[in-house]
Copies of this chain bind each other. A is one copy, B any other.
């Protein structure tokens, strides 16, 4: 255990105010939070005048051994009682899922108790409703840990960039898939082998669906879009495409062309129409782009605004300790606001039109196995032309039965590209149309 730093041992000039915490859930993050508060308590008191005390911790199973020691009477199985307990000033919700988390958080906010949560599923589904409850009761609802774990990007979007005309947020916001794609790129491994290794190392669940199919990233992208653009976006608004279809060949081809393949959560605001597009899919990122060197289980969020230009926030997107660090930052803020009788205020979220994936545009990479005979390129490019998809680069890989054509388009509309792919599949000279990858501009 690390000793408190020296300046923390000097007494604070103002006497400290105790804020009593009720923590719902004591898994990885909850336990790390309780430990971190124990370690940092005197340092926090010296610096902020706040004495944080964990008075209740609700768990599912009282007899399970905990990685932290808690005083008698702190542990309980009754989460609802923690929320209404007069000895709890501030609630930290770490149980996840929609119910009973929604009910518990609503009860806490309604009782005037600030809430800190890391619950991305909840916020991606009913976030704006809960934000309204918090604002209505003038208390904080803070959720730094819900997006990109320890990286303080939620606060940056909520506060630092509130006046900035943002138009795009791109994030590597799922560590499991980034670990798998990094493995595939570094070792030429195929998807199955990289997934197995991720599972063996504990980076992927036994059922990896939520991660590899992009649902986890989608929830985070919905939350980011909401706070970045002030628009109500829910998980159901997000277009999803996972990484299970990415092959070692896709990655090798991307590399040869100067790209890496990353699973991105993308939120875009069309400032002319006010439409918002939010999607998760694998994308080709140019090697020189700052997101290209975000490897392993690291996360990063890349933000584009008219005035600020390009920003990137990089760090640990998951894990008990980094996530607990994000929760603690919020707890200190909420406690400070509580003591001063104020709150951060989430502001107003308007319902924007969600632009369907068919109407979005990108550059695309398409590869296909073809019959190696004269006239094939002519036939194939004819299909592109008929759908108004303009080609930026084309090349042939291999020859004979292994012949393959690779195209990169200019900016094109998703619907037109999909129609192109469908018609290419019907061509006799095309054996198979391979991965369709969108290219992210530098």
A interface residues (Cβ-Cβ under 8 A, vs B): 2-3, 5-7, 10, 12-13, 32, 36-37, 39-40, 43-44, 46-49, 144, 150-152, 155-156, 159-165, 229-231, 269, 271-275, 290, 293, 305-316, 319, 321-322, 324-326, 328-329, 331-333, 336-337, 340-342, 345, 347-348, 350, 352
Q: Which of B43, B307, B311, B322 contacts A309 (CB 8 A)?
A: B322
Decide yes or no: A325 and B161 within 8 Å by CB, A6-B273, A156-B156, A229-B5 being known contacts.
yes
Q: Which of B305, B306, B326 contacts A308 (CB 8 A)?
A: B326
Q: Which residues of B contact A331 (CB under 8 A)?
A: 163
Check B161 against A329 for contact (C-beta < 8 Å). Answer: yes
CA distance A323 to B75 in the complex (A): 48
A329 (CB) vs chain B CBs: closest residue: B160
Check A162 against B314 for contact (C-beta < 8 Å). Answer: no
Check B308 against A325 for contact (C-beta < 8 Å). Answer: yes
Decide yes or no: A325 and B345 within 8 Å by CB, A156-B156, A311-B315 being known contacts.
no
Q: Which residues of B contact A150 (CB under 8 A)?
A: 307-309, 311
Check A274 against B329 for contact (C-beta < 8 Å). Answer: no
Shortest A335–chain B CB gap in Å is 10
Check B347 against A322 for contact (C-beta < 8 Å). Answer: no
A138 (CB) vs chain B CBs: closest residue: B340
Decide yes or no: A152 and B156 within 8 Å by CB, A269-B5, A315-B308, A345-B48 being known contacts.
yes
A to B CB contacts below 8 Å, 8 in the list: A32-B307, A48-B345, A48-B347, A160-B326, A163-B329, A308-B325, A312-B314, A313-B313
Q: Which of B229, B272, B310, B316 contacts A316 (CB 8 A)?
A: B310
Check B328 against A39 for contact (C-beta < 8 Å). Answer: no
CA distance A2 to B270 in the complex (A): 11
Instruction: Tell me whether chain A's interface is mostly helix, strand or loop, or mixed.
Output: mixed
Q: Which residues of B contact A329 (CB under 8 A)?
A: 159-164
Check B315 against A312 for contact (C-beta < 8 Å). Answer: yes
Check B2 against A165 for contact (C-beta < 8 Å). Answer: yes
Given contacts A155-B159, A159-B332, A163-B331, 11 further A-B contacts (CB under 8 A): A6-B275, A7-B230, A32-B307, A43-B230, A44-B162, A161-B325, A163-B332, A164-B328, A308-B315, A314-B314, A340-B345
A232 (CB) vs chain B CBs: closest residue: B7
Check B152 against A161 for contact (C-beta < 8 Å). Answer: yes
A303 (CB) vs chain B CBs: closest residue: B315
Check A230 against B269 for contact (C-beta < 8 Å). Answer: no
Decide yes or no: A311 and B151 within 8 Å by CB, A163-B40, A342-B340 being known contacts.
yes
CA distance A32 to B308 in the complex (A): 11
Check B348 against A322 for contact (C-beta < 8 Å). Answer: no
Shortest A207–chain B CB gap in Å is 27
A275 (CB) vs chain B CBs: closest residue: B6
Q: Which residues of B contact A43 (CB under 8 A)?
A: 163, 165, 230
Interface core residue of A2, A7, A231 (most chain B CB under 10 Å): A7
Shortest A329–chain B CB gap in Å is 4
Q: Which residues of B contact A328 (CB under 8 A)?
A: 163-164, 307
Check B36 against A163 for contact (C-beta < 8 Å). Answer: yes
Shortest A316–chain B CB gap in Å is 5
Check B348 against A47 for contact (C-beta < 8 Å). Answer: yes
CA distance A96 to B150 in the complex (A): 34
A295 (CB) vs chain B CBs: closest residue: B288
A300 (CB) vs chain B CBs: closest residue: B312
CA distance A314 to B315 in the complex (A): 12
Check B13 against A348 for contact (C-beta < 8 Å). Answer: yes
Interface core residue of A10, A231, A314 (most chain B CB under 10 Å): A314
CA distance A150 to B311 in the complex (A): 8
Shortest A224–chain B CB gap in Å is 15
Q: Which residues of B contact A322 (CB under 8 A)?
A: 307-309
CA distance A43 to B144 in the complex (A): 24
Check A307 against B290 for contact (C-beta < 8 Å). Answer: no
Check A312 against B312 for contact (C-beta < 8 Å). Answer: yes
Shortest A354–chain B CB gap in Å is 13
- Enumerate the 3 nearest inter-chain pairs by beta-carbon distance, A residue then B residue, closest first: A6-B274, A152-B160, A7-B350
Q: Which of B37, B47, B309 contacts A162 (CB 8 A)?
A: B47
CA distance A150 to B166 in the complex (A): 13
